[in-house]
Amino acid sequence: MAPPKPTDAVLADPSPWRSPAQRGRDRALKREAVLKAAARLFNEKGFHATSLDDVARQLNVTKPTLYHYFRSKDEVLFECCRMGLEMIEAAATPVPGSSASGLERLRALMEQYAEAMTMDFGMSITRTPDTALSPENRAELRRLKSQIDRAMRGVIQSGIEDGSIAPCDVRTAAFAIAGALNAIAHWYKPGGPLAPAEIARQTADFLIQGLAPRTPERRRRKR
């Protein structure tokens, strides 16, 4: 009895033989599994305190196996950070046909940014010092970060122009906002009392409201 041909298996195929496409997908999945395990360990114990042997052990393989998927430890960290930054960048790229005010767009950006910082890849952006990376990878990450920074400043600027955001120093505001959001990666613990969405909302609220008391007729924002 011959095994069923992979190309015939459209639905419900428990066969151990994989199609070429499936094989490629397996590889991508394994790559991602390495990144995920690595990110978790890097965040928990720190990049330098985590050896690739640690990462491999976590996945029930040995260190040389990892080198089938990555060129170096450096590349592993770099990819983790890139994943995280791409999540944020997706949130920062403007939607073409949007009629939202600058403040509304900024709030959405801040909340997605904040939620990203509660996830493994997002955390790795701020929890690992960029000095751990090779000069080339460091430069590339800086490029991605400044792209996000530019996008955020753009949103702030347009908010000032449409009157939804108070005039302020855009540069300082962007730095302060990014700083407050990045900090989440340092104090958030998955088992905590606040869910990521809650943290995101509260932090965005605070940055919008500020510390100074509202005047009576504008005391609290709804929702």
Interface residues toward DNA, by CB under 7 A: 6, 16-20, 23, 26-27, 30, 49-53, 56, 60-65, 67-68, 72-74
118 binds a second copy (CB under 8 A): no
Q: 125: exposed, middle or buried (C-beta count within 10 Å: 0-12, 13-18, 19+)?
A: buried
- Residues 6+ away with beta carbon under 8 Å from 144: 82, 85, 86, 89
Residue closer to DNA by CB (options 128, 203) is: 128
Residue closer to DNA by CB (options 28, 176) is: 28
Closest distance of CB 199 from a second copy, Å: 8
Residue position matching structure tokens 């500020």 = 210
Distance of CA 150 to the CA centre of its chain: 17
For residues 149, 150, 155 and 158, what is the CA-based torsion angle, rounded to 10 degrees? 140
Closest distance of CB 95 from a second copy, Å: 20
Tell which positions 92-111 bind a second copy, by CB under 8 A.
103, 106
The interface region with a second copy, picked from 14-22, 47-55, 59-67, 89-97 by CB under 8 A, is: 47-55
Among 7, 60, 99, 131, binds a second copy (CB under 8 A): 131
- What's the CA gap between 139 and 156, in Å, rounded? 25
Give which of a second copy, DNA, none residue 172 binds (C-beta under 5 to 8 Å, depending on kind): a second copy
- Residues 6+ away with beta carbon under 8 Å from 71: none
Closest distance of CB 20 from a second copy, Å: 42
